[in-house]
Amino acid sequence: MVKFIVIRHGHSVSNKEKTYTGQLDVALSSEGIDQAKSLAEYLYENYKVDSVYSSNLIRAKHTADFVAEKFGLPVIIEEDLKEMYCGKWEGLTAEQAEALYPEDFLDWQTNLEDGRCTDGEWMSEIKSRAVRAIKKIAEENDGKTVVIVSHGCVIRALQGEWLGISYRELKEMPWVTNASITRVCYEQGKWSVLQTGYDGYLGNMRTEMPKLI
C-alpha cells in the first residue's frame, strides 16, 4: 500500500490577482509562503514522510521545498503533475475570459466533460497524465508515505479517478484550497480517500477560490 498526501500549492501571485494561471510560472505570494511554512510544520508534527514529489511549476516546487527541507528529503519533479494548460485564458480574470470567449466560458462553467478554456487542455487529458504520474509514483514507493504537491485542476481530475465519478459529478464538488491536504491510499489497484481538502491547520491563513474560476 502507498499512502499519498496530496497538496495544492500555496497561495500564488496570480491567485491574489484572481487570474487563470494554468502553466504560467508564477511565484508564491507572501501569504503562500506563510502557508507553505505552516504546512511543513503540520506535516512534520503529524506524519512520517518518505518521499516528496512536485509539479515542475515554481509555485508547487516552492511549496514542496519547505516540506522536503523539514524532512531532509529531495524534491522529485514530475512534469505530468503540472497544472492544466488554460490556453488563451492564461493571465485573464474570469470576467475577461467571459467577455472575450463567452461560449467557451459557459461550457467551462456548466460542463466539465465537454468544456475547456479556449485552446486549452480537456479535463480528460489532464486526468490521463495525472493518473499516469500518480500510478508511476505508487510503483516507485510501495509501502511508503508520499507527499505530492500539485494544482487545483489536477487534484480535481484525480478526484474523479479516486472516487470513480464522472466529470459532471465533479462539478458538484468544491475545489480544494491553497495548501490543503488530501489523503488517499492506493493498494492492489484500488483507491481509498481518507481526507479531502483539509486546511483547518491554517487558521486565519486560509484562502478561498474565486467563485468563477
All cell numbers assigned to 64: 514542496
Residue 208 is among the residues annotated as catalytic for this protein:
no
Residue 83 is among the residues annotated as catalytic for this protein:
yes
Residue 210 lies inside a defined structural domain of this protein? no
pLDDT computed for residue 184 by the predictor: 98
**Nearest partner of 186 among 149, 130, 146, judged by Cα:** 146
Q: Mean of the pLDDT values across residues 109-134?
A: 89
Number of domains observed in the structure of the chain: 1
Residue 163 lies inside a defined structural domain of this protein? yes
Domain range spanning residue 38?
A: 2-139+152-205
DSSP single-letter state for residue 93:
B
pLDDT above 80 for 98:
yes
pLDDT computed for residue 213 by the predictor: 62
Q: What CATH number has the domain bearing residue 103? A: 3.40.50.1240
pLDDT computed for residue 212 by the predictor: 57
Q: Which residues of 158-180 are buried (b: 16+ CB within 10 A; e: fewer)?
A: bbbbbeeeebeebeeeebbbbbb
| Annotated catalytic residue, options 9, 11, 62, 151 | 9
Q: Mean of the pLDDT values across residues 101-126?
A: 87
pLDDT computed for residue 172 by the predictor: 78
Give tens-digit pLDDT for 14-56. Answer: 998 999 999 999 999 999 999 999 999 999 999 999 999 999 9
Residue 211 lies inside a defined structural domain of this protein? no
pLDDT computed for residue 156 by the predictor: 92
Give tens-digit pLDDT for 152-180. Answer: 999 999 999 999 988 778 777 888 999 99
Instruction: Tell me if residue 61 falls in helix, strand or coil.
Output: helix
pLDDT computed for residue 196 by the predictor: 96
pLDDT computed for residue 168 by the predictor: 76
| Annotated catalytic residue, options 11, 62, 78, 83 | 83
Residue 91 lies inside a defined structural domain of this protein? yes
Residue 56 lies inside a defined structural domain of this protein? yes
**Nearest partner of 156 among 142, 169, 137, 170, judged by Cα:** 170
pLDDT computed for residue 173 by the predictor: 83
pLDDT computed for residue 178 by the predictor: 97
pLDDT computed for residue 191 by the predictor: 97
Helix-strand-coil percent breakdown of the chain, rounded to 5? 45, 20, 35
Alpha helices in 111-209 (DSSP H): 123-140, 152-163, 167-170
- Show the 3-state SS of 131-143: HHHHHHHHHHCCC
pLDDT above 60 for 207:
yes
- Judge whether 8 and 152 are in contact, CB under 8 Å: yes
Q: What is the mean pLDDT of the chain?
A: 94
pLDDT above 80 for 211:
no
Give the CA distances from residue 155 to residues 8, 75, 175, in Å, rounded to whole numbers and listed in that order: 8, 19, 9
Give tens-digit pLDDT for 65-89. Answer: 999 999 999 999 999 999 999 999 9
Residue 119 lies inside a defined structural domain of this protein? yes
Residue 41 lies inside a defined structural domain of this protein? yes
Residue 135 lies inside a defined structural domain of this protein? yes
